[in-house]
Amino acid sequence: NAGVTQTPKFQVLKTGQSMTLQCAQDMNHEYMSWYRQDPGMGLRLIHYSVGAGITDQGEVPNGYNVSRSTTEDFPLRLLSAAPSQTSVYFCASSRSDPGTVYNEQFFGPGTRLTVL
Amino acid sequence: GQSLEQPSEVTAVEGAIVQINCTYQTSGFYGLSWYQQHDGGAPTFLSYNGLDGLEETGRFSSFLSRSDSYGYLLLQELQMKDSASYFCAAQDSNYQLIWGAGTKLIIKP
């Protein structure tokens, strides 16, 4: 199993550009989420999904869109990049909706994004 | 607002025991989890406390007191490879994780 994979590993954008960060998992996990991590801070939830076709907003959703057409994939789209979106982005998955029983989250290796 | 407080940095000696504290304030609370993150790496799960008391997993233990809104991670027999950042994360009323800012553990030989 590859676990959770993310592409690209590094990305530099100019202000106003759009792009999609890819995330895929091969563990048949129902729950997937996107976080951003800024220096000296913990992870902040951007968007999450409890299953294919279902997404919801987290703590910091503005400027980002997600979709979940399959169980495996959960892409994150930056609509119009801003310098404030410079961060490390982590995708995570867990076995089921954490509302049922707590399941450890498995994280991808991260995407380091710089917006100039 | 929702917040978790943990020390920004802790220093310990190889072979010793260290405790990393975490206090939380969330809208609803279901449990406290701990993750380890090495520099440049992704967080990895260490433990979860849904009930009061101590959970032990090898050299690592985690404790929760709901009445005090407090928990801690205890690392025993410290090894150099334990040098990392440690995050507490509280599961709130929406079952989402609210993360602390992390504690950087520095281990000296």
pLDDT of residue A99: 56
Distance from CA of A103 to the nearest CA of B (A): 9
- Is the CB of residue A48 less than 8 Å away from at least one CB of chain B? yes
| pLDDT for residue B88 is more than 90 | yes
pLDDT of residue A65: 97
- Is the CB of residue A105 less than 8 Å away from at least one CB of chain B? yes
Residues 6+ apart with CB under 8 A from A62: none
pLDDT tens digits, residue range A83-103?
A: 999 999 999 998 875 555 667
Integer Cα distance of B100 and A41 in angstroms = 7
Nearest CA in chain A to B95: A99
Tell me whether residue A54 is exposed, middle or buried, using C-beta atoms within 10 angstroms of its C-beta: 0 to 12, 13 to 18, 19 or more: exposed
